Chains A and B, each alone.
Chain A
Amino acid sequence: MRKLLVSPAPHIHGRESTKGLMRDVIIALAPSLLVSIYFFGFSAIKLILVGVVSCVLVEYVIQKYIVKTKVTVSDCSAVVTGLLLALNLPPSAPWWIVFIGSVVAIGIAKMTFGGLGQNIFNPALVGRVFLLVSFPVIMTDWTIPVSWFRGGIDASSGATALSIVKEGLAQGLTMDQIFEANNFSYSRMLFSKIGGSVGEVSALALLAGMAYLLIRRVIKPHIPFSIIGTVFLFTGIFWLIDPQQYADPLFSILTGGILLGSIFMATDYVTSPMSKPGMILYGVGIGVITVLIRYFGSYPEGISFAILIMNACVPLINKYMHPRRFWKEVKNG
């Protein structure tokens, strides 16, 4: 006799899957990956490969042998963490630094909390900040990108645009002087050719990735736009007050990993708020803290710390900020 399959409704499922979402994120990262390989050559490939392999390895070993639970590396979330970690590092970083970063990112920031879906802090950022604090010299050793065809990396160590600006201001130079001395221009920032980590060098590649993610409905625009908008607004206010002391808003957005952070790190599902009003508050918070750290803190760049601080606020945001409800009033009984 035929046995029918019985289950509660709904009986069909949409096409979304965790693996599919991760795959879309990897595709969105592809332009940045390719640009960084083009400009940094072997160094970039090394970082990306070591990052991905060590993240996956750490997750596999912990799940199979330490926690002894189901191995879920096939959902590609460790791969994404590995890629993001690699993109956050300076191009001349040695391979073992990536490995340590992966162990911290997956082992401490993700697995100790219970694995996928349970962590409070963005794993890639925790890894990066750990490395920044533990190995400050290596982590601030930047090179100006040279083309592959010029025969690999042999440039002298340089600095990111933001640190150049900070140092310049400390030395008493005006903004115009700094810009001129270093040949800063917007086109250089958009299309790379300025110093920075592996992932922040080309704003255009990152924006292409954002467009892809928005079209595929992987992320909603609320977080990236509120971060960028807030940073733009705040730096704009400061710039209007004293244009020689504070960089203009466009420069502020295109440098320092704002784009990488707001498109790929802050939008991480697990560590961001669940409702749209909450997302906007989160984005504004990140923007404000980033600008505060940049202008009043001792670090030239603040977005990594800003995102981690706001990650800690997310459970509270989720508790008090709810999505827009359908009904306008509640009846009794």
Chain B
Amino acid sequence: MSTVSIRAHAIARRFDDEQAVAGVDLEIRAGEIVALVGLNGAGKSTLMRLLLGMLRPDGGGAEVLDCPVAVADRAVWSRVGHLIETPPRYGELTVAESVYSAARLQGWDRGSARVATAATIADLELEHWQHRATRTLSLGNRQRLGIAMALVHRPDVLVLDEPSNSLDPLGVVRVRQLLRMRASEDGVAVLVSSQHLDEVARMADRILLLHHGRILGGLDPHGADVEHQFFQRILEADQAEQRPR
């Protein structure tokens, strides 16, 4: 059985009086694509930030590549790629400079970073824009750039928050193919969040439904109607919460 690349146990985080993540248990194995779905404000981005050490949990904890996130060092993080919420915003840098800088900051030497930059730009079909300042890119191409920056150093773990946001249909297919290829051929563990149920059903091996900061369970990506499963689970959870004890 493949190894667990991301593990969370009873991880929780509160913002003032809002319990954003309320004790989530999670395991993602190498070579597996897991999708997090949920309504706006369900806690998807907060959970991803907790897994990446961007936020400190109030309770529980997480491990990435068998290392507790709280003490993870460059050896661990150099094997992780991520894109959280917004694509990169250094508008003055070109596409090629942005991807190259991402590789360098991940510890790659200059020569390897240049080679990897060219290959990743080709993978994301960004060649035409590679010498353009990123501020001139469309939102969709900025999103492709963000994904390129997350992939350039060939990480073993990928955490992508709504990667298909703003992408055109061709971009959605390209990103899906890339992620599936990285997962199946390189054994990359992929966690994605999305609002597009059809898309995650095509991409993911497992779908986890997050609601009010809790995992309500899995949805079957190969089931007849993922959308129906999604609303049914949420309705049941909301009714259970309102039911008198």
Bound together: no
